[in-house]
Structure 1
């Protein structure tokens, strides 16, 4: 069950999606992901691990890691799972920003 904070962010995401559809219509673009991003994914995972071991990990570290893991994936089911993880981290990050600014 999503919290009120999560529901507010997801409502903002839904509004942005509606705006995108209004502006661009339905888009069925190629994924553009795969092995060419494996090095960046590995580097992002390492940077995230190192930052958290040092005690200075940030949402940026986690988000970039999740995004590059998605970009490195070519299997549609695994890509979908990685994108859900990246979006969830983004939502969590927005919630943290909202808490800091309220």
Structure 2
């Protein structure tokens, strides 16, 4: 889960296995840390958050980074989560590693 600004709010063992970060290392950090330098420079992390907020969800396939700096191909879905008044509360994020495919 991400908060409304895109910071990691919760972490699970699947995310740890794919990305190499422990929960203590990553909670509170912005999810842009998982993107390549080129993607960060072009604003891709923020663009995806904005699309998910506007449209409810967004899917993106591209290269992401592990803690050790290695790259992996990922299929990522971001789903915006709203409270009863319609305020953005955060995002559910699902990452599937697709490198072998």
TM over 0.5: no
Over alpha carbons, which structure has the higher Rg?
1
* TM-score, L = length of structure 1: 0.28
Return the TM-score normalized by structure 2.
0.29
More helix by share: 1
More strand as a share of residues: 2
